[in-house]
Amino acid sequence: MRWKTDTYTGWGRVHSATGELARPERLSHLAAIAASEPAPAIGRCRSYGDACLNDEGRAVDTSRLDRVLSFDPETGLMEAEAGLRLGEIARLYAPKGWLPAVMPGTGFATVGGAIAMDVHGKNHHHAGSFGQHVTEITLLQGDKTVTVTPKDEGLFKATVGGLGQTGIIASAKLQLQRCKGDLMMVTERRATDWDAFIDLLDRSEATYTVGWIDATATGKELGRGILEEGETGAGLVPAPKRSKSVPFNAPQAALSAPVVRTFNTLYYSRVPKSGRTTVKPIQDFFFPLDRIHDWNKLYGKTGFHQFQCVVPLDQAPALREMMARIAKSGLASPLAVLKRMGPGRAGYLSFPMEGYTLAVDFPNRGRAEALIAELEKMTSDAGGRIYFAKDALSSGLYVDEMYPDLPLWQAEAAKADPNGALKTDLVRRLKLRDAS
């Protein structure tokens, strides 16, 4: 297999890596690499920090392994290569009445990446995490090909959400879920403040629920936002909005505090007080930012951080205090999301827990690093956890408390990869495989 030196980044563009990449186009090529020159696998690098980086080392880009290997139209069981994008599955199969059971906020996430991060979506309160709908994983461990199912409890739980440390994911079988068609009926309602927002989330019975929250609002308006509830439907699908591109790195002033406050006020006001219901193409509801290519350039050449945490249901006041500190800082961007999660998780290091999850983007500035460190400690104190797929800053100080199953994962990772050939920059930064 030919290796080529390249420089690549996570989606936040704060961290970068320079090293040799291989881009196999056949599963046989991937197996040959695993057997002779093992290295961590990466997908389309949509993790925000350094989970997808291996600086000064090798990595295997699986994005060209993007084929559907089989599909049963009666049961919805699909086998797909690791590089297949979830958005492509939705595009091809929603018109036939099937969707991935769980989809994150970008359709560029790959099957392999979705398993390695055990991603969640707008229906987590009903459907759980991605890994709970995976029935089989084909894993390459050196010169061995291992078939892993939920019955192989230890290895399965260490692989799903396991950051690619138990082997290279070559392919997987996924149980898709039925849908009514390839359009979404979306109801939007205003939440006037934090308590109103939490109440709307708690009372929602919609299949898909997500909230945009104004991370600049203070005082009586703290926590205001818009709740979106969605259901699949059939009918005449509206034309999707045209894709756009961000051609250059935006200047720092583009996301200054006054600009963000003004944008957020206008965005909040676009929904009438009485609410509204619209019809959208599926892609526009699930992956609204995907039609803006290279939108990460809006944060400028220094990149951005996303902080995402989840706290238990009874710790909503702690999350409100985090929102207050974020709003007071003047650092938040317009991209901030609040959701309610159910208990579903499939792996030892899976992020979800039953509670409320908050995700906020911050331009990469020194004050943002200090704020995120403060938010991480508040999360730990509240009995919550941070999401490795979004993190670029943590020192790992609270990982043991946030992820009590870490020793079980470490044992499986050590057995599967005794020489540490699959370690990534994130694994090293957080010392995840250093048994205490």
Record the tokens describing residue 215, joined without a space. 């991370």
**Which of 191, 300, 280, 294 is CA-nearest to residue 245?**
294
Cβ atoms of 199 and 145 closer than 8 Å: no
Residue 32: burial class (beta carbons within 10 Å; 0-12, 13-18, 19+): middle
The per-residue pLDDT for 243 is 79
- What residue has token string 């044992």? 411
The per-residue pLDDT for 360 is 97
Amino acid identity of residue 70, one-letter, is: S
The CATH architecture one would assign to domain 183-399 is 3-Layer(aba) Sandwich (3.40)
Residue 143: burial class (beta carbons within 10 Å; 0-12, 13-18, 19+): exposed
User: Chain-centre distance of CA 214, in angstroms?
Assistant: 20
Pairing of strands 355-363, 336-341: antiparallel
The per-residue pLDDT for 269 is 96
**Spans of the chain, pLDDT less than 50:** none
Query: CA Rg, the chain, in Å?
Result: 21
Degrees (nearest 5) of the Cα angle 260, 261, 263?
Answer: 65
Q: What are phi and psi of 194, to 5 degrees?
A: -60, -50
The per-residue pLDDT for 435 is 75
Please compute, for residue 254, the number of CA atoms within 13 A of its CA located in the half-sphere on the CB side.
15
**Which of 215, 202, 241 is CA-nearest to residue 356?**
202
The per-residue pLDDT for 436 is 59
Pairing of strands 16-22, 58-61: parallel
Q: Is residue 37 classed as helix, strand or coil in its secondary structure?
A: coil
Under 8 Å CB-to-CB from 61, ≥6 apart: which residues? 21, 22, 23, 41, 42, 43
Under 8 Å CB-to-CB from 77, ≥6 apart: which residues? 70, 71, 135, 173, 174, 175, 176
Which DSSP helix (H) or strand (E) runs through 19? strand 16-22
Record the tokens describing residue 357, joined without a space. 């999850």
Pairing of strands 304-312, 355-363: antiparallel
Under 8 Å CB-to-CB from 8, ≥6 apart: which residues? 16, 17, 21, 42, 45, 52, 53
Cβ atoms of 388 and 347 closer than 8 Å: no
The per-residue pLDDT for 426 is 98
Per-residue pLDDT tens digits for 319-333: 999 999 999 999 999
The per-residue pLDDT for 234 is 86
Record the tokens describing residue 418, joined without a space. 């005794």
Q: What are phi and psi of 156, to 5 degrees?
A: -65, -45
Under 8 Å CB-to-CB from 152, ≥6 apart: which residues? none
Q: At what angle do helices 316-329 and 194-203 cross, to 10 degrees?
A: 140
The per-residue pLDDT for 1 is 58
**In degrees to the nearest 10, what's the CA dihedral of 156, 160, 162, 167?**
60
Question: What region does 282 belong to: left with phi over 0, alpha with psi -120 to 50, or beta?
Answer: alpha
The per-residue pLDDT for 235 is 80
The per-residue pLDDT for 129 is 98
The per-residue pLDDT for 92 is 96
Cβ atoms of 384 and 375 closer than 8 Å: no
